[in-house]
Amino acid sequence: MLKFRMLVQILEGMAAFALVIYLLIKVLKALKDRNSRRW
């Protein structure tokens, strides 16, 4: 039971990590597009 809880915590941490990376990539792409349009 304790192992299962640890596994859930690890999965939640991975999901949060993936979400942060996804948002960072989205923001970077948006900035890149804006910069390329400006030049």
Alpha-carbon gap, residue 10 to 26, rounded angstroms:
24
The tokens describing 24, both together, are 């960072």
Domain count, the chain: 1
In this structure, is residue 3 part of a structural domain? no
In this structure, is residue 28 part of a structural domain? yes
Query: Does 31 or 1 have the greater pLDDT score?
Result: 31
Residue 36 pLDDT: 80
Q: What is the mean pLDDT of residues 4-9?
A: 96
Residue 25 pLDDT: 98
pTM to 2 decimal places: 0.64
Predicted confidence (pLDDT) per residue in 8-37, tens digit: 999 999 999 999 999 999 999 999 988 887
Residue 39 pLDDT: 56
Task: Residue 24: give the domain boundaries.
Answer: 13-39
Please provide the distance, in angstroms rounded to a whole number, between the alpha carbons at the two ends of the chain: 57
In this structure, is residue 4 part of a structural domain? no
Rg of the chain, C-alpha, whole Å: 17
In this structure, is residue 21 part of a structural domain? yes
Q: What is the DSSP string of 1-38?
A: -HHHHHHHHHHHHHHHHHHHHHHHHHHHHHHHHHHHHH
In this structure, is residue 35 part of a structural domain? yes
